[in-house]
Structure 1
Amino acid sequence: MTVARAAVKVVRLGRISYRSALKVQQQHIKQHLDSSSCSPNTLLLCEHEPVYTVGIRRAPYPPEEEQRLKALGADFFRTNRGGLITFHGPGQLVCYPVLNLACFKKSVRWYVCELERTVIKMCSQFGIEACTSPDTGVWVGDNKICAIGIHCGRYITSHGLALNCNTDMSWFDNIVPCGIVGKGVTSLSRELGRDVPTEEAVPKLLEAFTEQFNCTLIYN
């Protein structure tokens, strides 16, 4: 018996504030919870205005640290995703899959691993040898090129991945990215020694996602 491939709609949000992107995610989550079917599965693609976000895997972030980061010109948000503190900003391709895992496999561990494999496959298309590590995300050596932090409730996913393309990496100097001491961050541009805008990475990421999740992408 042939299993039908899940359909996933691709939505391009452009450059958008983190607050606005959260609202869009919440709208799509509600559509899933109000529906008895496997649709609509959606990939939200965007870049953010500078923002530092904190996940749920830590004690409350010190108010003085929050104020210090805001003084740099970035927003600051506490979120319900996994993971610790990270940065999002221009030049970083952010992908928020809002999926019903019942259409794929009802396993959060499987889902996170598939996201990692998607990015590794995409990096290989650029000639970059990326890998996983005991720490979540995708790495090139000891430098993280893509952060992954998700939320999953009733098998509906939100949040997702952030791939550094031609991000201003100095923003990461103000934090310990993802709370991992002794390791750094990198980008497609840094690894390739040339400017790699998000638009160049989008088709490769979508191709890898299609293959890894065995789905059909639908474009607006």
Structure 2
Amino acid sequence: MSSVRPVVFAQWLGRLPYGEALSVQQSRVNQLVAAKKSPSPSTPKVNHLLILEHPPVYTVGLRSHVYSESEETRLRALGADFYRTNRGGLITFHGPGQLVAYPILNLADFRPGDRSLGVRRFVELIELTMIKTVAEFGVVGTTSPHTGVWVGDDEASQRKIAAIGLKVRMGVTSHGLALNCNTDLAWFDPIVPCGIEGKSVTSLSAELRRDVPIRDVIEPFCRAFADVFHCDVQRPFSFQTC
């Protein structure tokens, strides 16, 4: 087996409207799928890690059948956009102060721990990446029967700090994760995030009782991603401009 680590090209997109981010994702996915289909073994298969934040937007996944037009209108009236998507999961919020990452990966390129990377394991490694990221700030993250990353000493006090919603097409991933850094958590109040009743949300800033902007989290996140996925994350951008 080759010991060469796969390369992932990270790109900071800044604050990008959700619809524009979808277009960027789809372009990268189409390129990667086309490369996999190419009869030429020399056709490059480029893996991407898109890092960004969104203006306020509520998104629902494939399992969200309960959001009527009136519900959509209610949420839009709050000043947020609204999108129905083809990712997994239920409703969530994205907005300023939230680190969003969309890994566009050919799963066959990755064998962390010399194990093939299926969808379930991919989700587990995304969770582990976020656990390692928040750990760099002294926050203890855990998993639960629900997807995502949580903080709290017991089930009753668990608070969700990061969410996951993914899609895999022909072994190529899209959509991704959202980690609350200094997000205005009031945006979550009008919804039941990810359809999980009785659970609250939190952020790095809320847990640490100090401001933790996205620019302070990108580098720890990229390091954690490289460590967990046994890859080299190339990031040709300056965090000081984020």
Whose strand fraction is larger, Structure 1's or Structure 2's? Answer: 1
Q: Deviations over 1:5-30 (max 9, x none)?
A: 00000111000000000000000001
The answer to whether structure 1 residue 119 and structure 2 residue 130 are counterparts is: yes
Pair 1:154 & 2:170 matched = yes
- Residue 57 (structure 1) aligns with: 63
Q: Which runs of 4+ in 1 moved over 4 A?
A: none
Residues 1:88 and 2:101 are matched in the alignment: no
Distance of 1:58 and 1:76 partners within structure 2 = 13
Q: CA deviation at 1:87?
A: 0.2
Partner of 1:218: 234
Match of 1:100 in 2: 106
Partner Cα separation in structure 1 for residue 26 and residue 81 of structure 2:
19
Q: What's 2:50 paired with?
A: 44
Structure 2 unaligned blocks of 5 or more: 37-42, 111-115, 153-157, 237-242
Amino acid across the alignment from 1:24:
V
Q: Percent identity?
A: 55
Give the equivalent residue in structure 2 for 1:13. 13
Which whole-Å CA distance do the structure 1 matches of 2:44 and 2:104 have between them? 11
Which has the greater radius of gyration?
Answer: 2
Among 142, 145, 160, the residue aligned to 1:134 = 145
Per the normalisation by structure 1, the TM-score is 0.97
Shift of 1:62: 1.2
Partner secondary structure for residue 232 of structure 2 = strand
Q: Which sections of structure 1, spanning at least 5 residues, go unmatched? A: none
Q: Which amino acid aligns with 1:87?
A: F
Q: Secondary structure at the residue paired with 2:189?
A: helix
Native 8 Å contact 1:106 1:155 kept in 2? no
Letter in 1 for 2:212: V
Quote the residue 2:183 is aligned against. Answer: 167
The count of residues paired between Structure 1 and Structure 2 equals 220
Rounded Cα–Cα distance in structure 2 between residues aligned with 1:205 and 1:140: 17
Opposite residue 55 of structure 1, the aligned amino acid is G
Q: Is contact 2:64-2:91 (8 Å) kept?
A: no
In the alignment, the residues of structure 2 paired with residue 19 and residue 210 of structure 1 have an alpha-carbon distance, to the nearest angstrom, of 28
Answer yes or no: is the 8 Å Cα contact 1:38–1:103 preserved in 2: no
How far, CA to CA, are the matches of 2:175 and 2:64 in structure 1?
18
Deviations 1:144-165 (A, max 9, x none): 0000010001110000000000
Query: Is 2:214 the partner of 1:198?
Result: yes
Distance in 2, Cα, partners of 1:123 & 1:176: 23
Q: Specify the SS of the correspondent of 2:100.
A: strand
Q: Following TM superposition, by how much is the alpha carbon of 1:60 offset from its aligned partner in structure 2, in angstroms? A: 4.6
- What TM-score do you get using the length of structure 2 for normalisation? 0.89
Per-residue deviation at 1:123? 1.1
Q: Which moved more, 1:56-65 or 1:131-140?
A: 56-65
Equivalent residue number for residue 209 of structure 1: 225
Q: Which residue of 2 aligns with 1:76?
A: 82
How many Å apart are 1:80 and its aligned residue?
0.7
Letter in 2 for 1:94: V
| Offset, 1:59 | 1.8
Instruction: Report the alpha carbon displacement of residue 61 of structure 1 after superposing the two structures with TM.
Output: 1.6
Letter in structure 1 aligned against 2:105: L
